[in-house]
Every structure is written in C-alpha cells, then in structure tokens.
Amino acid sequence: MNTEQKKHHFTIPVFIPMEACPFQCIFCDQDRISGRTTIPEPVEVNSIIQRHLATIPEKGSDIEVGFFGGTFTGLSPEKQKVYLEAVLPFTESGRIAGIRLSTRPDFISSRILELLGRYPVRTIELGAQSMDDEVLRKSGRGHTSSQTREASALILAAGFSLGLQMMVGLPGDTEEKAVNTAKRIIESGASETRIYPVIVIKGTPLEKLFREGKYLPLELDEAIQITKDVVRVFDESNVKIIRIGLHPSEGLLNRKEYIAGPFHVSFRELVMTALWTDRFRKILEEKQGESIGIRVNPADLNPAIGYYGKNRKLLEKHFRSVKFLPDPEIKEKKFHADRH
C-alpha cells in the first residue's frame, strides 16, 4: 500500500508591482490589480511569509513563495537577489519547498536563468497572453510569440518548470486564435497555465479604447464559451490549469476599478459548469421520463451538478428524478449514468 499522502499545495503570494515593468500593456494597471502601490521591502517579504505560514498546516503541505505582479526578472540583479535571499531561511529550514515567479518572455536570458538557478526557484511563469502576433501587437505587449517560444525553450533547458499564462478577449483575439494559443502553449512544453478573460480596468489604455468604441469586451457568456474551448484543449494535454479568471481584488469587487468586461467571482465554476453541460448533452437527447443516477469522481461532483445546480436543474427537466453520486472508481471528467 502506498502510504505517501498527497500534499496540499500552497503558494504564498508576494506582489512586486509595476516598478520593475517599463511596459504598459493596454489591459494592465498593476498597482490596482495587485491592490497596492509600493513595492515591498525585502524585510516585508519575511513578514508576509511568516504571516501566511502561521495559517498553513505544517504537515502534508507543499509550500512555495510566488513573486507575482510585475516583471521579476526586470528588476536589477541585485534586487532580484535580495528578494530571493529573503526566502532562503524558509527553504533552508524546509518549511518552504521552493520559489515561483512571473515575468515577461523578453526578460529571459541565459544570464538571468543562471542567476535564478542559484536559488531554489522551481517554476517560472511567463505572461504569454496570446501566441498570435497581431493580438500581441494590438495589446501593446512589446514582444512576439517567437520570443515566448524561445524563452520557454531556455527555461526548460535550464531545468525549471514552465508556466504560460494566456488571456482571452484581447484586441483582435478570436475563439480560433484563443484555441490556437492553447495549442501553442502545450507545444512550448508548459506544465501549467492560467487563463484570464480580459477585463477593462480603470485608468488603463484599454479603458480609453473602450470609451472611444474601439474595443468591445467579451460578454460573460462569450468569455465562458471561449474559455471552455480552451480548457478542453488543455484537458487533452498534461498542462495543469492552475487558475481561471482574475483574482477578485477589492477594486474589482466594489466595482471602483471595474469598467467593463466578463468579470465574475465564480468565473471558473461557470466555465466548469458549461463543460459539464456539454458532457451531459448526449443523455439529454435520450428518451425522457426515466430516473437517472449520475456517478462522477468526487472531485467532479460540484462542477457536474453545476453553479447553483444549473446542470441538475437542466437534467431534472428531462428525467423524473436525478441523483448525483460521488464514485472514486469513475475517472475525472467522466461520468456513468444509471437508469431506473
């Protein structure tokens, strides 16, 4: 019997906004998205970590510190070192397993990777956003898709894990281009991804375009539909989706920073519900009236039932009674229907 327990993964986020980033992507207002305007001093990093550690169980946890928010490798090498060194006491004591950080594809080089390799950095996440050059250009990204591919190859060759983030609904983006971006991300060797629908945030160049009628954000339903197609592509690969939808910062929740676009606190659940609606389509075409028991893997129980029971309600219109049952024997993303 395998006695090794599955560890719970935690990432302690440390936001290093804008200062490090000389760009202005049209959708980005780092200060507002990360909810702060100053960048943390290294001593603050220590207290951020301590604060989080106090809430995480010691046993059975795999904990990383994540430097997010800006372009980590755009900081001076000295500053990068100071931040990375702030984590060392925790990795040396064994409480923290490693570091992850996010940066831009054009801020990766052999020299930069050599520096990161001297520290317990495990994963480097690149903001790919799109693998379509026209979309990248219209979004003011300042890099091309081939730079993303080259940086990905360098990261993998240096022995790091690779994460590639993508967005849906950027200017010039289409459903086809989004699906294509997902395929290119898989080809680039990423082991994980994050998918963000584009939201128009106050004070960004995108707000100006939106107000001038030059940018039309996706409707919530469209964003769910496109993201669902993208998720389906990733599901057929080994790429793990670690996030779908923007983190609901205070400014988005109280709508002070929100201008337009498909923001929803439960965006991931909505996408998962839609994926399961599609999986149930076939049985919805079958004869009505029977009672039905649907067995799914326990991990799939909530998404299969759907956001606010949407899928259960849909099936209840069709079958006399509907029961969902968790069954560890059923593979994830599959279901078995028992008719009575």
Judged by the rule CB under 6 A, the positions of this chain that interact with ligand SF4 are 21, 23-25, 28, 30, 70-71, 104, 127
Closer CB to ligand SF4, residue 25 or residue 304?
Answer: 25
d(CA 34, CA 45): 15
CB of 140 to ligand SF4, least distance (A): 8
DSSP of 143-169, one letter per residue? Answer: --HHHHHHHHHHHHHTT-EEEEEEEES
Residue closer to ligand SF4, measured from CB, 127 or 163: 127
Instruction: Yes or no: say if 135 and 172 are a contact pair by the CB < 8 Å rule.
Output: yes
Q: Considering the complex, state which of residue 170 and residue 224 has its C-beta at the smaller distance from ligand SF4.
A: 170
Residue 11 or 24: which CB sits closer to ligand SF4? Answer: 24
320 contacts: CB under 8 Å, gap ≥ 6: 289, 290, 291
For residues 143 and 124, give the distance between their C-alpha atoms in angstroms, rounded to a whole number: 17
Rounded to a whole number of angstroms, the minimum distance from the CB of residue 220 to ligand SF4 is 23
Closer CB to ligand SF4, 73 or 227, in the complex: 73
Q: How far is CA 64 from the centre of its chain?
A: 16
* Cβ neighbours of residue 3 closer than 8 Å, sequence gap 6 or more: none
Smallest separation, CB 252 to ligand SF4 (Å) = 16
Tell me how far apart the alpha carbons of residues 139 and 206 are, in angstroms, rounded to a whole number.
9
Cα separation, 113 vs 80, in Å, equals 12
In the complex, least distance from residue 110 CB atom to ligand SF4, rounded to whole angstroms: 21
Nearest residue (CB) to ligand SF4, 76 versus 288: 76
- Based on the number of CB atoms within 10 Å of its own CB, is 4 exposed (0-12), middle (13-18) or buried (19 or more)? exposed
Burial bucket for residue 16 (CB in 10 Å: 0-12, 13-18, 19+): buried
Q: How far is the CB of 210 from ligand SF4 (least distance, A)?
A: 17
Residue 255 C-beta: closest distance to ligand SF4, Å: 21
